[in-house]
Structure 1
């Protein structure tokens, strides 16, 4: 597939993501914001939906324009704004995933601790947002507009000047690498100009798709050492977030497994006691369970009668937390899978493909679909919304 066809496919895909993601996330915000009982999980879901909606309405269309212009923006502000948007949005989503994992861990493993309350969750979201914005600002300051004036004393073209000093630094995915924290650093524009005036004496191959006015990595504000350290830290946030989420959901699974094992053990001991003396007077008055039913005396033939067991409030809350944790775990897995190919490409671990790279935006579209499949309450509310829309027509 040639570059022109590949770019067209990417632009079409991003356009589809923008439209479908905007509609889906707007519905999520509408439904969850109307709920009377706002929980911490609902707050984090609203945060994710708001981030995804902003991405689909603003960042993806901006990305379409930048890709169509081949990163040739000519002005510093659009360049820095673009880098700010795409690099504060991604880590913020990762931070929210970590916060969700902590919230589910405390709800299931330590339900009486109440570590994350609604006010605390709002503060956590604000802190994560500020920190993500700081990362976006740092990234925007490491980029600028590439612009070199052709020295009048040299009878060469601008492209000749660019290629003589940039061929060893620039690749097609410079800007893409920065999004996910690649550690490659390009020289500052002043260094390039000095090198041109001192060393350019012959022509070489012109770097494909690169020229004056392009938004590209730069060390004009921060030197190469600072930029290198920052990019390493930025890239490390993904690995750290992944490990934290993996550990927390592992602890959640362990807690659920232990609880189910203890419940099964109590059930077996109640059905097959070793001797009648093992039960105290209080124990004999407790309800005996059998496969989710309660024993309710005996019938005329001496056989045990069973009636449907009704779950207590604590059990209902526990199982509701498990269902929510399962749904949000799937959201996290989709996030990790969507970004993994781009992260690997940015670190040159797999061959670069522009189409596959920009597929990470599918994550911003997938969440409403996950809620619709795994949350019956959301599905019912969604059907009610569609019915109201149809009836209004």
Structure 2
């Protein structure tokens, strides 16, 4: 989301090494900058694009084969589609802008690329926030009405419309602007934010604040979910031992009562004893069936909660890693808001690593398939069956 607002200024610090050189053409300057500073970030972006495209495509194929559509599978599917578009189109756009920072003169490409970057980033974060809310209701409010499949799809569509409208403001925030390159009096064209526009500044800070607010809300929800899961695990052994002890005591009491009834009925007569024995036997069978049903229900409830906890942990890992990828950009945004010169000094000190930190947020669209494979055994089996053409 907010990373897109500074995504087109990453080569400003690269010009410092060329301020005292002789005459250059704009194409020669771009090539020298790319060789000295742009290759590491280009390799990083290429790897992210390939891994993310293949990984999200595999997720879409795997989840698409499921027979029963549940809420979390629908959310995984839409999140993977969004991440697939980002890895297949958005990240290659970053690569093009890294290679040609001063000669892409198309204002339409600048505005459309900015709008697309904002949309995929904001939509991904909003889907993760809705997943956190759905996991909270599933884990901490299991006996209350849950989100239906229809309601989930409606929310997903509403989030898409909202983020599309939000991204449309990027059309009035960025443009291809002529800037002096300070090398041989050259004039380049850069896709950059309109610094003199108050609307652009307010929009940029609003996106950063929204991102920070969503991170805080998701963190609170997952803390509550984690506490609930840990509390359930602590209570589980005690509950099991109490059930086992109570069932054992009930069986002993039933055996003693059966023996007393049998003894008394033996004294009173064979016919009465026979009737009583049949009744006692029927009651014993019914009580055993009731205990068995309750035990099966308890095991089923335990299995469902365990499955829900594993899914919540999987999404917790995805959300944490996704939000961590935004941390460098948020720090850079805070620094440049207070001291632009400090930002330039920081980029000069970091060298090529600065550009990678600028683009580090693309990890948000790549990491999810890896987390699914590491934390979900059934997903790994489904992926294996796809490779085996089963």
Against the structure 1 CA distance between its residues 363 and 228, is the aligned structure 2 distance closer, same or farther, given a 3 Å change threshold? closer
The residue correspondences of 1:66-105 to structure 2 (distance < 5 A) are 66-70=97-101, 72-105=103-136
Is this contact kept in 2: 1:70–1:209, CA < 8 A? no
Give the TM-score normalised by the residue count of structure 2. Answer: 0.70
Tell me the residue number matched to 2:367: 366
Matched, 1:214 2:190: yes
Tell me the residue number matched to 2:38: 7
The residue correspondences of 1:233-382 to structure 2 (distance < 5 A) are 233-267=206-240, 269=242, 312-348=299-335, 351-352=346-347, 353-382=354-383
How far apart, CA to CA, are the structure 1 residues paired with 2:325 and 2:73? 23
How far apart, CA to CA, are the structure 2 residues paired with 1:216 and 1:256? 46
Tell me the residue number matched to 2:386: 385
How far apart, CA to CA, are the structure 2 residues paired with 1:365 and 1:209? 41
User: Based on CA coordinates, which of the two structures has the bigger radius of gyration?
Assistant: 2
After superposition, what is the alpha-carbon deviation per residue over 1:289-348, rounded to whole angstroms, capped at 9, x for unaligned?
xxxxxxxxxxxxxxxxxxxx8663222211111000001100011101112112212322
Q: Count how many residue pairs are aligned between Structure 1 and Structure 2.
A: 302
How far apart, CA to CA, are the structure 2 residues paired with 1:99 and 1:209? 51
The runs of 5 or more residues in structure 2 that have no matched partner are: 1-13, 18-32, 255-294, 337-342, 348-353
How far apart, CA to CA, are the structure 2 residues paired with 1:131 and 1:324? 27
Helix, strand or coil at the partner of 2:175? strand
Is this contact kept in 1: 2:175–2:192, CA < 8 A? yes
How far apart, CA to CA, are the structure 2 residues paired with 1:212 and 1:71? 5
Is this contact kept in 2: 1:145–1:212, CA < 8 A? no
Tell me the residue number matched to 2:158: 127
Matched, 1:137 2:168: yes
Please report the RMSD computed on the Cα atoms of aligned residues, expressed in angstroms: 3.1
Against the structure 1 CA distance between its residues 30 and 102, is the aligned structure 2 distance closer, same or farther, given a 3 Å change threshold? same
Give the TM-score normalised by the residue count of structure 1. Answer: 0.69
Quick check: 348-357 or 69-78, which moved more?
A: 348-357
How far apart, CA to CA, are the structure 1 residues paired with 2:214 and 2:37? 32
Is this contact kept in 2: 1:91–1:237, CA < 8 A? no
Which protein is richer in helix relative to its size? 2
Helix, strand or coil at the partner of 2:105? coil
Tell me the residue number matched to 2:64: 33
Is this contact kept in 2: 1:26–1:53, CA < 8 A? yes
Tell me the residue number matched to 2:281: none
How far apart, CA to CA, are the structure 2 residues paired with 1:71 and 1:81? 17
After superposition, what is the alpha-carbon deviation per residue over 1:51-103, rounded to whole angstroms, capped at 9, x for unaligned?
11101111111221122111542122101011111111111111111101001
The runs of 5 or more residues in structure 1 that have no matched partner are: 148-158, 164-205, 282-308
How far apart, CA to CA, are the structure 1 residues paired with 2:170 and 2:230? 43
The residue correspondences of 1:119-198 to structure 2 (distance < 5 A) are 119-147=150-178, 162=180
Of 1, 18, 22, 2:53 maps to 22
Quick check: 361-370 or 314-323, which moved more?
A: 361-370
Is this contact kept in 1: 2:322–2:367, CA < 8 A? no
Helix, strand or coil at the partner of 2:144? coil
Shift of residue 112 of structure 1? 2.5
Against the structure 1 CA distance between its residues 376 and 270, is the aligned structure 2 distance closer, same or farther, given a 3 Å change threshold? closer
How far apart, CA to CA, are the structure 1 residues paired with 2:230 and 2:43? 45
Quick check: 348-357 or 99-108, which moved more?
A: 348-357
How far apart, CA to CA, are the structure 2 residues paired with 1:138 and 1:219? 15
Tell me the residue number matched to 1:106: 137
Against the structure 1 CA distance between its residues 207 and 330, is the aligned structure 2 distance closer, same or farther, given a 3 Å change threshold? farther
How far apart, CA to CA, are the structure 2 residues paired with 1:211 and 1:133? 34
Shift of residue 254 of structure 1? 2.3
How far apart, CA to CA, are the structure 2 residues paired with 1:358 and 1:320? 35
Against the structure 1 CA distance between its residues 19 and 98, is the aligned structure 2 distance closer, same or farther, given a 3 Å change threshold? same
After superposition, what is the alpha-carbon deviation per residue over 1:19-71, rounded to whole angstroms, capped at 9, x for unaligned?
22111111100010110111111111111111111011111112211221115
For CA contacts below 8 A with separation 6 or more, give which structure has more relative contact order: 2
> Where does structure 1 differ by over 4 angstroms across 4 or more consecutive aligned residues?
207-210, 267-273
